Amino acid sequence: MSEKLNLAKTVDFLHEVGMLKKTPRSGFQFLGSGSENVAEHSFRTAVIGFILAKISGANREKTVYLCLFHDVHESRVGDMNYVNRLYNSTDDRSALADALKDTGLAPDIMPLHDELAEAGTLEALLAEDADQLELILTLKEQEDLGNKYATKWLECALARLKTEPGRRLAEEIVKSDHTNWWFAGQDKCWWVERRNKK
């Protein structure tokens, strides 16, 4: 059973989580186009996690929670891309524990961090794939917009997928056009007349 919430400390934590909207995903510096903050990344990762859990029959709630909280520590340590990590390290667990200190949330959230780090459950593997698939969707958009380096990055991201549902979803992403949902999916009259036809 979770301990009682300290609302004042919980509000501090919520302000800290808001910093993720201001924390840029650092890989775009190297990609040369696009931008995204950690909060944007985490939201779509959670949605992808829900879908992967539905496909695989895994626990949807657990998978979404793993995705939702997977980068919360970055409010303190920032987002380090693969080049940064060659020269720097962070204590992500301590950063998260400090962020949760005295809130009453630690018994609920720290086990999620540990489960993800151990990658010993289907839900953790799906959450890891959701993290990569969010990147793959972003890279596909950049590839569609003409960034030839996004194609190289896609190859690496695809190789990191660990689950069959993740690989299946990735195959569909690679075949897709990122504009199809809004451009090709509309009645052509909408584009010509610029109003919604009923």
Residue-wise pLDDT tens digits, 94-104: 999 999 999 99
At residue 1, does pLDDT exceed 50? no
Which residues partner with 37 through β-bridges?
Answer: 24
**Does residue 102 sit within a domain?**
yes
**Confidence grade of residue 186 (pLDDT, cut at 50, 70, 90):** low
Would you say residue 198 lies in a domain?
no
CA–CA distance, 166 with 162 (Å, rounded to integer): 7
pLDDT category, 187, cuts 50, 70, 90?
confident
37: CATH: 1.10.3210.10
Structural domain boundaries enclosing 48: 7-193
Contacts of 87 by beta carbon, 8 Å cutoff, 6+ apart: none
Please give the pLDDT value at position 184: 76
Question: Which whole number is the average pLDDT over 19-27?
Answer: 97
CA-wise closest residue to 111 among 144, 66, 75, 166:
66
Distance CA 75, CA 15 (A): 10
**Is residue 35 predicted with pLDDT exceeding 80?**
yes
Q: Tell whether 99 is covered by a domain.
A: yes
Cβ neighbours of 105 (radius 10 Å): 19
**Within-domain flag for 16:** yes
User: What is the DSSP code (8-state) at residue 186?
Assistant: S
Count of beta carbons in the 10 Å neighbourhood of residue 64? 23
Arithmetic mean of pLDDT, 167-176: 98
Domain tally for the chain?
A: 1
